[in-house]
Chain A
Amino acid sequence: MTGEPIEAVKNGIQVMISSLRQNPQAIETAFISIITFDSTARQLVPLTDLASFQMVDIKASGTTSLGEALKLVSSCIDNEVAKTTQEQKGDWKPLVFIMTDGIPTDEWQSGLDEFRKRKTAYTVACAAGSGADSNLLKQITENVVSLDTADSQSISKFFSWVSASIGVTSTKVEDAGKEVSGLGELPPPPSELNIVT
């Protein structure tokens, strides 16, 4: 991604951050990290709270190492997103937004396998322009958005949607479990029952 699209992405992120700063829930709770991928994947900004976040210059040229990016985001989730333990309060499950204007040029299946092992509240992939393949991105997540052209207007629309999602979702993302229905009566007590000690 070069030229107008990458400028539009930078601008989109900038606008998104500014608008999120006006959302009280987001400014008190949201953290953001940026990973770029071209011939290699790099974490440009480690997971940073919104209030401290400062935009960096984004460059992307050459190939599309999507697999490496998926591996990197997986290890970043492991290292930076806190899980709930007896002594530590866990973070909310992360939201992952993937944006690409090309098709992966690396062995990306192994990256996808890694990423699938991580829990996200949800993952959104955006196929920007005709060079990207939204069917391919469907393998990563069912939430795929595609932009017909990777121009600044479409990209900025995508980002305003992303910021709205972050604003809403940072309120609560629950693990509501699977819907199982049909239970006639209370199951009998187990043979080992020790309520009273």
Chain B
Amino acid sequence: MPEMGNVKAQLTELFLKNNVEVPSNRKDLFDKFIRDDKTVAATRLISELENQLMANWKLQDRIATIQGQPVRIHNASVGKLYEAKLDFEQLGWTDLSHWKFEGLEENGLTFEEEQKQISGKPVQSGDIPLRFLFKLKEQADDEPFNEKLIMLIVNPDPKSLWKNLDSDKNDPYWKEDNITVCEPLGDRYILASSKRGRSHANEGSFREDDFAFMNLENGWSIVAVSDGAGSARFSRKGSDIACRSVVEYFGEESSATSLQEFDQILEQHKAKASPDSSTKLNHYVYNTLGKAAFTVHKRLEDFASKAGHTLKDLSCTLIFTLFKRYESGYAFLSFGVGDCPIAVLNKDISEVTLLNWIDVGEFGGGTRFITMPEIFRNEKFATRFSFIEKEDFSYLMLMSDGIYDPKFVVEANLENIAKWKELLEDLNGNNEGGVKVELDPGNKEIVQQFSAWMDFWSTGNHDDRTLAIVF
């Protein structure tokens, strides 16, 4: 029963709204009117309807607020397990009575209502609006659900995005996209592969890495690897020339004569024959390898000027190692410019010896090239050469950064024998796809096996890959 005062106030307001005045001679009539049962019932009804209207409005407003509220759930990726929890407390959704998602299944997802958790493996990529349905506690059970769209960004699986487009065979500097070989080298075998990276395959551009090797006179062998700079227009030709030139250089007669000298210099050095025997050896290494490196630089320069390119267009790194077996063990002579490492593993794989230091800049990709004249003038030039002797060795490896980056990541790991053991285990099939290379010259499948291994997947590492293993 509404109080009489309320009825009076309500009617006074109503009269006012309708511009109806109650003159003093109608006051008694008005008093009687507000006490009338019908009037009281009518005002009560009005009040109730008004309250209901307001409650309805509040409800609609609340629903609209929730619908407009930004809800962020982290991004998903196709084929990868996804979990996202809706934190109702944090969202201020404590007034919800029912909730569910519709259509999640077609995206490979499910929703646990009690846990308020979306989970599953998304099947398609894109910006997907998820339909969240909810009811508020104030809503009647038979009222329909309200709908809110929550945007879920699903990234595509990068593996599905890479294209494999052929390179242009009519290009004058075309080279095979992929090459893998296994041949005898010295008293050992060499297994070498150079593969076009996915980043190049995706655009139909060329492999920029290269390698070369050769049996030389007098028991020497040489292996060279070069990585063409991605930013240089004709680096694929540069790396080709660099590898071929250095191998050719040592194949020339003058080099053969010079290498013969080495036997004697080494012997004197080992016998400590004279006080200056090690100086002689130092100078021999510097002059012989230095000349070779410089010849490569000159040949690149000649080629560039004849072809009307700049030397920079041919930018490439270069590493090479000469090795020979003596009675007492193996001698290795190396040179390197750029970010490609050379390493020798001892017989029982307990020790790694690095034959060069690598040029890594402050940021990714910052390296040095054989095409840069300044490297020959730099004070560090002499430190680019090395000579070591090993009684025996298990593996000699030369690689481009396409292998070094995914397998060693940082320079410090190159000195870590455990990392090399991991690489050997990896080659032995301890990898995602179980791809195994049996490093045995009798293995007739060795080329196919190695070629398959070289295609390993490593997120973000899709540069050209070159790996030469002497075993």
A: residues with CB less than 8 A from B are: 18, 21-25, 27-29, 50-54, 81, 83-93, 119, 171-183, 185-187, 189-190, 193-196
A51 to B122, CA, bound (A): 14
Interface size on B, residues (CB 8 A): 69
B: residues with CB less than 8 A from A are: 72, 74-75, 77, 125, 127, 153, 155-156, 158-159, 161-162, 198-199, 202, 229-232, 269, 278-279, 281-283, 285-287, 290-291, 294, 297, 301, 310-312, 315, 360-369, 372-374, 376-377, 379, 381-383, 385-387, 405, 409-412, 459-460, 462-463
Question: Of all chain B residues, which has the CB nearest A179?
Answer: B312
Question: Of all chain A residues, which has the CB nearest B310?
Answer: A179
If the complex has contacts A89-B410, A193-B382, are A84 and B155 also in contact, measured as CB distance less than 8 A? no
Residues B161 and A22 in contact, CB atoms below 8 Å apart: yes
Give, as a whole number of angstroms, the nearest-CB distance from A63 to chain B.
28
Give, as a whole number of angstroms, the nearest-CB distance from B269 to chain A.
7
Question: Of all chain B residues, which has the CB nearest A194?
Answer: B282
If the complex has contacts A172-B230, A193-B382, are A185 and B373 also in contact, measured as CB distance less than 8 A? no
Question: Of all chain A residues, which has the CB nearest B80?
Answer: A51
Q: Which of A22, A51, A171, A176 contacts B369 (CB 8 A)?
A: A176
Residues A89 and B405 in contact, CB atoms below 8 Å apart: yes
Cβ contacts under 8 Å, B462 to chain A: 24-25, 28
Cβ contacts under 8 Å, B161 to chain A: 22-24, 27
Question: Of all chain B residues, which has the CB nearest A121?
Answer: B363
Cβ contacts under 8 Å, A171 to chain B: 199, 230
If the complex has contacts A84-B364, A119-B363, A174-B231, are A189 and B294 also in contact, measured as CB distance less than 8 A? no
Cβ contacts under 8 Å, B202 to chain A: 24-25
Q: List 26 A-B contacts (CB under 8 A).
A: A21-B156, A24-B159, A24-B161, A25-B202, A25-B462, A28-B158, A28-B459, A81-B363, A84-B362, A84-B364, A84-B410, A86-B410, A86-B411, A89-B409, A90-B360, A91-B364, A92-B364, A93-B366, A119-B362, A172-B231, A174-B232, A180-B374, A186-B294, A187-B376, A187-B377, A196-B282
A52 to B77, CA, bound (A): 9
Residues A176 and B315 in contact, CB atoms below 8 Å apart: yes
A92 to B362, CA, bound (A): 9
Q: Which of B153, B278, B279, B463 contacts A54 (CB 8 A)?
A: B153
Q: Find the residue from A18, A22, A24, A193 having the highest chain B CB count within 10 A.
A: A24
Cβ contacts under 8 Å, A185 to chain B: 294
If the complex has contacts A51-B77, A193-B283, are A90 and B156 also in contact, measured as CB distance less than 8 A? no
Q: Which of A81, A176, A189 contacts B286 (CB 8 A)?
A: A189
Cβ contacts under 8 Å, A190 to chain B: 379, 382
Question: Of all chain A residues, which has the CB nearest B412?
Answer: A86
Residues B366 and A189 in contact, CB atoms below 8 Å apart: no
Q: Which of A53, A177, A181, A194 contacts B368 (CB 8 A)?
A: A177
Question: Of all chain B residues, which has the CB nearest A83?
Answer: B362
Extra 10 A-B pairs, beta carbons < 8 Å, given A84-B364, A89-B364, A193-B283:
A27-B161, A53-B75, A84-B362, A90-B360, A171-B199, A173-B363, A183-B376, A193-B382, A196-B278, A196-B387
Residues B231 and A176 in contact, CB atoms below 8 Å apart: yes
Residues A91 and B269 in contact, CB atoms below 8 Å apart: no
A25 to B153, CA, bound (A): 18
Residues B364 and A22 in contact, CB atoms below 8 Å apart: no
Give, as a whole number of angstroms, the nearest-CB distance from A168 to chain B.
9
Residues B410 and A177 in contact, CB atoms below 8 Å apart: no
Residues B75 and A54 in contact, CB atoms below 8 Å apart: yes
Residues A91 and B363 in contact, CB atoms below 8 Å apart: yes
Give, as a whole number of angstroms, the nearest-CB distance from A167 to chain B.
10
Give, as a whole number of angstroms, the nearest-CB distance from A76 to chain B.
15
Cβ contacts under 8 Å, B364 to chain A: 84, 89-93, 173
Q: Which of B127, B158, B363, B379 contacts A93 (CB 8 A)?
A: B363
A54 to B151, CA, bound (A): 10
Question: Of all chain B residues, which has the CB nearest A24?
Answer: B161
Give, as a whole number of angstroms, the nearest-CB distance from A17 to chain B.
9
Question: Of all chain B residues, which has the CB nearest A50?
Answer: B155
Residues A175 and B366 in contact, CB atoms below 8 Å apart: yes
If the complex has contacts A27-B161, A84-B361, A196-B281, are A180 and B366 also in contact, measured as CB distance less than 8 A? no
A81 to B185, CA, bound (A): 44
What 7 pairs between A and B have smallest CB-CB spacing? A172-B230, A24-B161, A175-B366, A86-B412, A186-B294, A183-B373, A93-B363
Q: Find the residue from A28, A89, A190, A196 having the highest chain B CB count within 10 A.
A: A196
Cβ contacts under 8 Å, B376 to chain A: 183, 186-187
Residues A189 and B362 in contact, CB atoms below 8 Å apart: no
A174 to B291, CA, bound (A): 27
Residues B229 and A174 in contact, CB atoms below 8 Å apart: yes
A99 to B324, CA, bound (A): 61
A53 to B377, CA, bound (A): 46
Q: Find the residue from B77, B373, B387 having the highest chain A CB count within 10 A.
A: B373
Cβ contacts under 8 Å, A196 to chain B: 269, 278, 281-282, 285, 387
A32 to B344, CA, bound (A): 41
Residues B158 and A195 in contact, CB atoms below 8 Å apart: no
Cβ contacts under 8 Å, A176 to chain B: 229, 231-232, 312, 315, 369
Question: Of all chain A residues, which has the CB nearest B158?
Answer: A24
Give, as a whole number of angstroms, the nearest-CB distance from A95 to chain B.
12
Residues B377 and A183 in contact, CB atoms below 8 Å apart: yes
